[in-house]
Every structure is written in structure tokens, then in C-alpha cells.
Amino acid sequence: MCRLLVLFLVFALSAGTLLSADEPLIDVSDAPNHIKQNVTVSGVVTAVFVSKHGNAFINFGDKYPNQTFTGWIPAGTPLASDPSL
């Protein structure tokens, strides 16, 4: 549990530097209502998976395939190669 909290904080702090201050903060359950919009999604991280190609997937709400929302961190970005994942 502590590892998930640390991971969430690392993700939130890293993502916060990439996001515009004028983006609305939404709950993960509201994400489907914001397709093609720039928003900041907030929720509980339930699972993290790093593929053999280096892409990181962060599931919110439940583990795959029952997740509410999945965040994607592309391979080759600093956060995708962070050892905390």
C-alpha cells in the first residue's frame, strides 16, 4: 500500500509539471465524459504494468480488465523508465 502511495505521488508530481494550470481536475470516474479534452485525472492507483517494450500503464479503480481508467506513459520518457514503477 505504501508503495502505491509513493508511486501515486511520483506520478502526480511528474504529471503536474507537464500539465497546464488551466486544466480542470476530474475524478477518474468522470474521465469518459472528457474524451478529446485536456484534463487532470485524479484517483486511486490499483495496478501498474510496464510492458517489455517499456510502455507503462497505470490502472485506476481496479486491476485490468476491470479498471475505470488507464493512464499511459510512453516508452522512452523519463517517468516510464523510473525505477519506482
Alpha-carbon torsion (36, 47, 55, 40), positive or negative: positive
Q: In the chain, where are the structural domains located?
A: 2-73
Task: For residue 30, report the phi and psi dihedrals to the nearest 5 degrees.
Answer: -95, -5
- Assess whether pLDDT exceeds 80 at residue 70: yes
- Side chain identity at residue 14, one-letter code: S
* DSSP conformation class of 37: S
pTM of the predicted protein model = 0.65
Percent of the chain clearing pLDDT 90 (strictly above)? 47
pLDDT at 80: 85
CB atoms within 10 A of CB 42: 14
